[in-house]
Amino acid sequence: MQLSLQQLVPIPLREKVLAHESQVWNKDIALQNGYTFIQAPSGTGKTTLIHILYGIRTDFTGRVAWGGQQINDLSAAALAALRTTEISVVFQDMRLFPDLTTWENLEIKRSLAGNIAEDEVIDWLAQLGIADKKDSLAATLSYGEQQRVAIIRSLLQPFKWLLLDEPFSHLDKANTAKAIILIDNIVKRNKASMLIADLDANEHFSYTQKLVL
């Protein structure tokens, strides 16, 4: 599924994003299948871009289309279907339910699509070193633990694109490496594409495309 952007400019950041040269904002681009890295220094609208692509923000000019379908034209039901079977996301601010346990945070997503078995989720928790946090409230987890839960949650559905907004910002090198392996495996299993937006250049994955925001 191709992601195409045409003259995309976020309205609240219009002056700011047009003040410097960007390979994304106000350009016509088509993101090819594969791993895309978007390097986005602070204040260039990285999170805004992820939110626009995921359909959370609609305050932009230009066009965003997933597989030829404009995201602004989608009904609430179509958007929900897109988010359940086509696109998944790891938010920069994790967005877990603080009053739910780790397991409940995962189960509320897993039960929606139902394509991942419970045992596999337990296995992934173990892979990322948070199996013992299964019954802990999300509010009591450290940022690093929350980030790992958010990563696992994003993998609990079928998807064609995985959007990641600074996915390893709270993780040390060892945990980052474990998360990279898990993400890479599941993206490949889904035959999906991935878009990572981060502050600095990195070589976490074999990127097919690199852009500067």
Partner 1 sequence: MAGITRESILRKLLLQRHKSSRLWAALLALCIGTTLLLLSVMIWWNFSELLSGHGDNDSLGSTFLTISKRVTDDKMGKPELTIFGLGDIAALRTAPQVQDVGVLTSSRFHVYATISVSMGFGTDMFLEAAPDRFIDKIPSGWQWHQGDNDVPIIISNEFLSLYNYGFAMSAGLPQLSASSIQSLTFTLKVGEGDRQDRYRAHVVGFSDRIASVLVPDSFIAYGNRYYGMGAISMPTRLIVKARDPSDKQFVSYLQQHDYTTNAEQLRWNKLRSVVTVVTAATGILSILLLSIGALVFILFIELTIARAQQSITLLLQLGYAPRYLSSFMVKRFFPMLLGTVMVAGIVASGVQYIAAIKSRSLNLSLPHLPGWPVWAALAISTLLLFILVARAIARAIR
* Least distance between partner 1 and beta carbon 2 (Å): 21
Q: Which two tokens stand for residue 8?
A: 């995309």
Question: Please, which residue, 11 or 108, has the CB nearer to partner 1?
Answer: 108
* 133 or 204: CB nearest partner 1: 133
**Closer residue to partner 1 in complex, CB, 81/181:** 81
The C-alpha angle 38, 40, 44, rounded to 5 degrees, equals: 130
C-alpha dihedral, 50 to 52 to 53 to 56, nearest 10°: 90
Query: Rounded distance, CA 213 to CA 208, Å?
Result: 16
From the CB of 116, what's the least distance to partner 1, in Å? 14
Q: Which is nearer to partner 1, 19 or 76 (CB)?
A: 76
Shortest Å, Cβ 93 to partner 1? 11
Rg (Cα) of the chain, in Å, rounded? 17
β strands within 85-145, DSSP E: 87-90
Chain residues in the site for partner 1 (CB under 8 A): 54, 56, 76-77, 80-81, 83-84, 95, 97, 99-100, 103-104, 107-109, 111-113, 118, 153, 157
Question: Count of alpha carbons within 13 Å of 187, Cβ hemisphere only?
Answer: 25
Smallest separation, CB 203 to partner 1 (Å): 30
What is the helix (H) or strand (E) element at residue 106, kind and residue range?
A: helix 102-113
Instruction: Compare residues 46 and 153 and give the one whose CB is closer to partner 1.
Output: 153
